[in-house]
Amino acid sequence: MATNKDGASNEPRGHGVEIDKVTGTETTGHEWDGIRELNNPLPQWWLYIFYGCTIFALVYVVLYPAIPLIKTGTDGLLGWHSRSAVARELTAVEQSRQAVMNQIRDTPLEEIRTNNELMQVAFRGGESAFKVNCVQCHGSGAEGGYGYPNLNDDAWIWGGTLEDIHTTLQHGVRYEQDDETRISEMPAFGRDGLLDSSQIEQVANYVRSLSGLEHDDALATEGAQIFADNCAVCHGENGQGQYMLGAPALNDQVWLYSPDLEQIESQVNNPKHGVMPAWSGRLDEVTIKQLALYVWSLGGGQNAEATASN
């Protein structure tokens, strides 16, 4: 038998196919840069796996939904559907939770707060609802942002008791679609000609002085009387704010917008008024109560006496 210089037989075995002299195995007939590939058969284990997968696939097609049709698909002999299974599982979960959800619905907020078991359930439910509905404005950690209140501190615009928070969640703030929404509107002192630019600068310096920020003493002194005549009726004589009017405190270090002098002047001149949607009708009562308990527990929740004294 004639062989080439690489030891492969030159005996014809088909187009380009040769017998390797060392192993006695046919080559595939392909050659790349003088390298030939042996035509070894697939391992038996690999073939068995391949056959098994093929059989499994055929059985699956027969038993389960598998083949899409024009408007529907094959149901399979078992009639099983993943969506139906998920629906059944969700129903089972809802049924298992229904008793405690009913208890939360029927129990006053203060009683839930003092019931450790109910409070734990309400907290987790409120935490989940917050991540879906509230983080877009108040932030993932409830830290707030420019124009959006921080819910972790004890500075409240409309009060921080459980009932206060619950009412705010139910009816929103300046949400026109709800007749019981919380309403407050700061006058545009500059835009409407109630104060001139020098008076606005003076009262802005006085507002900064209330929270211990750097200010012009002379301007702040002039601004004190302007504040008493125009601002104290809502924000309080000492800038402590009033929950009933939705007037924020001005004597702390918490700012809804910015403590910069220019920003305060801008707010006095032509104030911004944020809007919070009413969640009643969008969320069920249990979820709203869970949210109220969650927000209350973030660190700044007040007792009923705190709001009554403001």
Q: What does the domain layout of the chain look like in residue ranges? A: 44-80, 135-309
Q: How far apart are the first and last CA of the chain?
A: 110
Quick: pLDDT tens for 73-126.
899 999 888 888 999 999 998 888 899 999 999 999 999 999 999 999 999 999
Q: Is 244 annotated as a binding residue?
A: no
Distance CA 131, CA 127 (A): 6
| pLDDT of 261 | 97
Say whether 234 counts as a known binding-site residue.
yes
Q: Report how far residue 291's alpha carbon sits from residue 130's, in angstroms, rounded to the nearest whole number.
A: 7
- Is 186 annotated as belonging to a binding site? yes
| pLDDT over threshold 70, residue 3 | no
**Contact criterion met (CB below 8 Å) for 185 and 270:** no
231 annotated as belonging to a binding site for a ligand: yes
**53 known ligand binder:** no
- CATH superfamily for 135-309 is Cytochrome c-like domain (1.10.760.10)
Which two tokens mark 255?
């700012």
138 labeled part of a ligand binding site:
yes
Which residues 6+ apart lie within 8 Å of 171 measured at CB? 178, 180, 181, 182, 278, 280
Lowest mean pLDDT among 33-47, 161-175, 238-252: 33-47
- Can you give the pTM of this predicted structure? 0.73
Q: Does residue 56 have a pLDDT over 50?
A: yes
Contact assessment for residue 8 and residue 18, using Cβ atoms and an 8 Å cutoff: yes
- pLDDT tens string 239-254: 999 999 999 999 999 9
